[in-house]
């Protein structure tokens, strides 16, 4: 609600921020824990809406969009990272001073995970892999890692847990990464009752692995089945917006969301689109 119109003082017009008052919309009551969160300061980036979110997988493609969306709305964001600080340094300007807080962690270290979620009321797990390494297999990341984060978050009293999966995650899928993601969903449900599962189709955006890979490998882009694979690509910023809305709406507790394009494309359609914009042929 807004106060009376601006009034003149000895120093001229008073700022609108000084006259802005808080209303019922600034109070969030968490359905699962009963916690009451009250916003402070003015609206938007230069404020705190009373919420603190931990975003695991923040340095990935989707992670930077989710962090930017939350920080822009005045959410205090904890950004756990593995490796070098430079991997998440670019995230700090997305929020106001002190609102984006990097914390080093290891997915195999429960104590560090507990430190990252200790003061958060929302935990968003975006960690996922398309390939295995000697230290992190699909099982360790998609199943054990997801279960560990969900268990620790639940024990720490976190109100909301949002887990990112894949639209094609099935226990009988052909790809091992999709099978482990499906089992990871089950472990999250068991460890954190009321968790939200978000299943997204292939995402596109400025740093994606869909359009950019076609452009980079335009002289030899490998396809199968004459590039007739079906796709329903979704914009990464739309996925980030959906995650933010799920976090805000307490009526979404425990629901599963599938995010995909309403129009179906073939891989050939996407390749033709890239050819049109780069004005070159993609050899396949």
Q: What confidence tens digit (pLDDT) does each residue in 17-33 have?
A: 444 455 545 677 776 67
The three-point CA angle 96-97-101 to 5° equals 95
Backbone angle region of 74, left / alpha / beta, with phi > 0 → left and psi within -120 to 50 → alpha: left
Q: What are phi and psi of 208, to 5 degrees?
A: -75, 170
pLDDT number for residue 31? 66
The three-point CA angle 148-245-232 to 5° equals 85
Q: What are phi and psi of 54, to 5 degrees?
A: -105, 125
Give dist(CA 212, CA 217) in Å, integer: 9
Q: Is the dihedral of CA 15, 19, 22, 23 positive or negative?
A: negative
Which is nearest to 168 in space by CA: 140, 136, 128, 135?
Answer: 128
pLDDT number for residue 23? 53
What angle, 0 to 180 degrees and rounded to 10, lies between the N-to-C axes of helices 236-248 and 61-72? 50
Model's pTM, two decimal places? Answer: 0.86
Q: What are phi and psi of 187, to 5 degrees?
A: -65, -35
DSSP 6: P
Residue ranges for the chain with pLDDT beneath 50: 1-20, 24
pLDDT number for residue 43? 65
Q: For the chain, what's the residue count?
A: 284
Give dist(CA 210, CA 198) in Å, integer: 20
Give dist(CA 70, CA 126) in Å, integer: 14
pLDDT number for residue 238? 97
Which is nearest to 150 in space by CA: 115, 177, 183, 185?
Answer: 185
Give dist(CA 218, CA 209) in Å, integer: 14
pLDDT number for residue 118? 95
Distance of alpha carbon 221 from the chain centroid: 30
What value does the CA radius of gyration of the chain take, rounded to a whole number of Å?
21
């Amino acid at each position: 609600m807004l106060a009376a119109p601006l009034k003149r003082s000895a120093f001229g017009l008073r700022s609108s921020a000084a006259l802005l008052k808080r209303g019922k919309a600034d109070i969030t009551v968490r359905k699962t824990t009963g916690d009451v969160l009250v916003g402070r300061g003015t609206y938007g980036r230069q404020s705190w809406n009373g919420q603190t979110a931990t975003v695991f997988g923040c340095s990935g493609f989707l992670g930077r969009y989710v962090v930017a969306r939350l920080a822009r709305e005045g959410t205090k964001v904890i950004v756990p990272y593995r490796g070098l600080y430079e991997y998440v340094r670019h995230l700090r300007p997305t929020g106001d001073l002190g609102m984006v807080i990097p914390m080093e962690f290891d997915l195999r270290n429960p104590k560090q995970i507990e430190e990252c979620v200790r003061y958060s009321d929302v935990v968003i797990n975006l960690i996922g892999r398309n390939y295995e390494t000697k230290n992190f297999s699909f099982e360790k990341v998609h199943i054990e890692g997801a279960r560990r984060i969900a268990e620790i978050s639940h024990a720490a009293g976190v109100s909301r847990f949002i887990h990112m999966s894949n639209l094609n995650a099935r226990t009988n899928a052909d790809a091992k990464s999709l099978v482990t993601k499906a089992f990871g969903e089950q472990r999250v449900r068991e460890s954190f009752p009321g968790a939200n599962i978000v299943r997204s189709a292939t995402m596109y955006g400025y740093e994606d692995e869909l359009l950019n890979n076609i452009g980079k490998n335009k002289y030899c882009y490998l396809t199968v089945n004459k590039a007739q694979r079906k796709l329903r690509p979704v914009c990464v910023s739309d996925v980030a917006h959906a995650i933010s809305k799920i976090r805000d709406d307490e009526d979404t507790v425990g629901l599963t969301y599938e995010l995909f394009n309403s129009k179906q494309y073939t891989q050939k359609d996407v390749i033709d689109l890239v050819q049109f914009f780069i004005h070159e042929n993609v050899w396949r």
